[in-house]
């Protein structure tokens, strides 16, 4: 009886683990209105994006998005570079973003690595706008759902730090996006949350199995 109970619990755990991790598999990018050429440009990297912040996400370039302004979510690789608001503007084949941080800890940002920022001309540094009481920066964006390097200069430490950020399509109306997005894509935070749920469920199953096993033993063996 005990062996059967353990085997059953193991099978249930395997099924739950597969259900929560299935979304990590990639799928091809499907373009909308491909006959008219929308969303099709051979120079673009159309592979699904994987990185430290996202997995299996479809990159969305300027030609893949209707022109306009959109509020969206932006993720950062550092809790010290916390982006609280992000507004995307798509106009004339170019995307840009205004990001708002939760503090005024950074004087400048640079669209690249910390090492590149140190050697770049200071005119290329993007100065913080602190008129709102928080640090705001305007950045060019190659694509949504695609990670980009963004070095940040700390006021306190007086040095550049490497940061990775990604602007997501979440919050943008579906009809504004001219390509189909991977349904299996997501953020690493989603995966971590799913893993935590699996662990909690596994513990619950183990505890329930132990209680059930106790009563079975008590009924049949005492």
Alpha carbons within 13 angstroms on the beta-carbon side of residue 9 total: 19
Q: In CATH, what number does 29-183 get?
A: 2.60.40.1850
Phi and psi at 162, nearest 5°, equal -75, 130
User: What secondary structure letter does DSSP report for 23?
Assistant: G
The reported pLDDT for the residue numbered 206 is: 62
- What are the extents of the domains in the chain? 1-25+184-222, 29-183
The reported pLDDT for the residue numbered 44 is: 87
How distant, in Å, are the alpha carbons of 29, 87, 127, 172, 203 from that of 66?
18, 14, 29, 10, 47
pTM for the predicted model, two decimal places: 0.70
User: What token pair was written down for 206?
Assistant: 């183990």
How distant, in Å, are the alpha carbons of 68, 84, 86, 125 from that of 101?
23, 6, 9, 17
The reported pLDDT for the residue numbered 116 is: 98
The reported pLDDT for the residue numbered 216 is: 60
* Distance, C-alpha 82 to centroid of its chain: 14
The reported pLDDT for the residue numbered 172 is: 96
Alpha carbons within 13 angstroms on the beta-carbon side of residue 222 total: 7
* Distance, C-alpha 80 to centroid of its chain: 17
- From the number of C-beta atoms within 10 Å of its C-beta (0-12, 13-18, 19+), residue 200 rates as exposed
Angle at 96 between CA 95 and CA 97, to 5 degrees: 135
Give yes or no for a contact between 170 and 75, defined as CB atoms under 8 angstroms apart: no
The reported pLDDT for the residue numbered 43 is: 72
Mean pLDDT, each 10-residue run in order, the chain (222 residues): 51 49 43 49 82 96 98 96 98 98 98 98 97 98 98 98 97 96 89 37 52 58 57
């Amino acid at each position: 009886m005990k062996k059967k109970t353990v085997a059953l619990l193991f099978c249930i755990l395997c099924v739950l683990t597969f259900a929560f991790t299935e979304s990590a598999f990639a799928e091809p990018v499907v373009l909308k209105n491909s006959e008219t050429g929308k969303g099709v440009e051979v120079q673009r990297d159309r592979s699904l994006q994987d990185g430290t912040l996202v997995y299996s996400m479809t990159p969305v370039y300027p030609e893949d998005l209707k022109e306009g302004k959109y509020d969206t979510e932006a993720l950062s690789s550092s809790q010290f570079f916390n982006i609280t608001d992000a507004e995307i503007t798509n106009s004339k084949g170019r995307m840009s973003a205004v990001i708002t941080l939760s503090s005024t800890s950074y004087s400048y940002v640079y669209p690249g690595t910390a090492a590149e920022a140190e050697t770049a001309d200071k005119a290329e540094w993007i100065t913080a706008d602190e008129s709102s009481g928080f640090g705001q920066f305007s950045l060019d964006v190659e694509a949504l759902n695609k990670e980009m390097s963004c070095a940040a200069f700390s006021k306190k430490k007086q040095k550049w730090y490497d940061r990775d950020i990604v602007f997501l399509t979440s919050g943008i109306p579906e009809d504004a996006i001219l390509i189909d997005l991977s349904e299996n894509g997501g953020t690493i935070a989603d995966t971590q949350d799913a893993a935590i749920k699996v662990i909690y469920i596994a513990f619950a199953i183990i505890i329930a199995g132990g209680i059930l096993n106790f009563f079975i033993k008590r009924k049949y063996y005492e």
